[in-house]
Amino acid sequence: MKRWLVMGLAFMLLAVPSLGSANPNGVGDGTFDTQCGGACHGDADMNQTSSTTVTVQGDDVVYEGLLTSITVNLEGIETTTSGLLGVFLLSDLSGTRDTPGDAGWNIISNSEGGNENYVEIKVSPSQDSRNVTWTMRAPAVGTYQLYAAIHHGTEDGSEAPFFGQSEAPLIIEIVEVPENLPRLTSDFDPITQREVGEVTTMMIETTFVSAVSVEWRVAGSDVQTADITALENNRWSFEVPASIQPSLIEWRVHLEGEGPPQTTPWFQLRSEEVAWTIDENVAYLQSLALILVMMAGFVALQYRNDSSISPSNKELADLEGGVE
């Protein structure tokens, strides 16, 4: 019984540090509240103030239900030797239920190729500034605020948590859409991820639009014009060429119709190699199963060794053991 108790206690001691410790190597992109700015990197009460300047930029007036771009600008970046930096886009700084989605915003894409409010970026040692951009669908008519926050470690390897936030919010007024405004449909949801070597056909659905043109670009290169195919029922399509290596392609649409011409924000399409993914819960269960099998085998081996000794030999062995 003691053997089982000791082995169970050892397993718990091995599992607890991995389940409850900080994450100096990051937690990956996701949907997180401000509280994660401390909790993801240890105790939030241990946070120190980051020297990085954080500002939120975007349009002051946006049409209800239409798309807009919000950019978080980082200046004087401070981070670890690995360059890992976590960036949040938030609706307030309360620490709970403060993601843009909690305020009615719908994130379509971000410049890192996902659709989450929190992204982890790698900053090279020579970089002093960096932008992260989100494309979002506006909520109902009203006045809204958007904030940004960051967290990171330190170069000395101590894993001390640093936290920073925007000093002032971006204030946005959401107004009603003019009746004849050329626009994408309210349920438009572009593709944001694909595999390397894959040609992607984009479908666009519009309202009050008579002509469409599309521009696309790879980061750091010139803007290209895509060939548009007009389909029925105000639908259009174009192809994004395949990439030969992991990269990010941005594209936007120019819309013309009876109302004033409109240009959408830049959408992001990230090309990635096929990657293996690991489910941590499954890994823990497999580790537990392996430990249980080893424990069962150990007990079975002990039982077999004990049963292999005949009664007379066992008494002799006990007697010899007593003499010694």
Per-residue pLDDT of the chain (324 residues; tens, 9 = 90+): 555 555 555 555 445 444 444 555 567 788 888 876 554 544 555 678 888 999 999 999 999 999 999 999 999 998 877 888 999 999 998 878 899 999 999 999 998 888 899 999 999 888 889 999 999 999 999 999 999 999 888 776 566 788 899 999 999 999 999 989 999 998 888 888 889 988 999 999 999 999 999 999 987 789 999 999 999 989 999 999 998 888 889 999 999 999 999 999 999 898 887 655 556 676 677 777 777 777 777 677 766 666 655 555 555 455 455 544
Residue 81 maps to which CATH number? 2.60.40.150
Dump pLDDT digits (tens) for 61-94.
999 999 999 999 999 998 877 888 999 999 998 8
Residues 190 and 122 in one domain: no
Q: What local confidence, expressed as pLDDT, does residue 180 receive?
A: 92
296 in a domain, yes or no?
A: yes
Annotate 162-176 with b (16+ C-beta within 10 A) or e (fewer): bbbbbeebbebebee
21 in a domain, yes or no?
A: no
Domain boundary among 275, 295, 315: 275
17 in a domain, yes or no?
A: no
Domain boundary among 108, 143, 177: 177
Residues 52 and 118 in one domain: yes
Query: Could you give the CA distance from residue 18 to residue 151 in angstroms, rounded to a whole number?
Result: 21
Q: What's the total number of domains in the chain?
A: 3
192 in a domain, yes or no?
A: yes
Query: Could you give the CA distance from residue 37 to residue 164 in angstroms, rounded to a whole number?
Result: 9
CB 78, CB 108: distance < 8 Å: no
Residues 115 and 218 in one domain: no
Q: What local confidence, expressed as pLDDT, does residue 311 receive?
A: 54
Residues belonging to the chain: 324
Residues 141 and 72 in one domain: yes
292 in a domain, yes or no?
A: yes
Residues 243 and 204 in one domain: yes
One-letter identity of residue 280 = E
Residues 268 and 291 in one domain: no
Residues 31 and 170 in one domain: yes
Residues 268 and 290 in one domain: no
153 in a domain, yes or no?
A: yes
| Structural domain of 266 | 178-275
Query: Could you give the CA distance from residue 40 to residue 21 in angstroms, rounded to a whole number?
Result: 9
Residues 34 and 149 in one domain: yes
252 in a domain, yes or no?
A: yes
Residue 169 CB partners (closer than 8 Å, separation 6+): 56, 145, 146, 147
159 in a domain, yes or no?
A: yes
Query: Could you give the CA distance from residue 172 to residue 155 in angstroms, rounded to a whole number?
Result: 37
Residues 42 and 171 in one domain: yes
Helix 2-20 and helix 280-307: axis angle, to 10°? 160
Domain boundary among 123, 158, 177: 177
Q: What local confidence, expressed as pLDDT, does residue 130 receive?
A: 92
User: In 3D, which of 180, 175, 203, 182 has the Cα closest to residue 191?
Assistant: 203
Residues 76 and 94 in one domain: yes
Residues 163 and 53 in one domain: yes
Residue 210 maps to which CATH number? 2.60.40.10
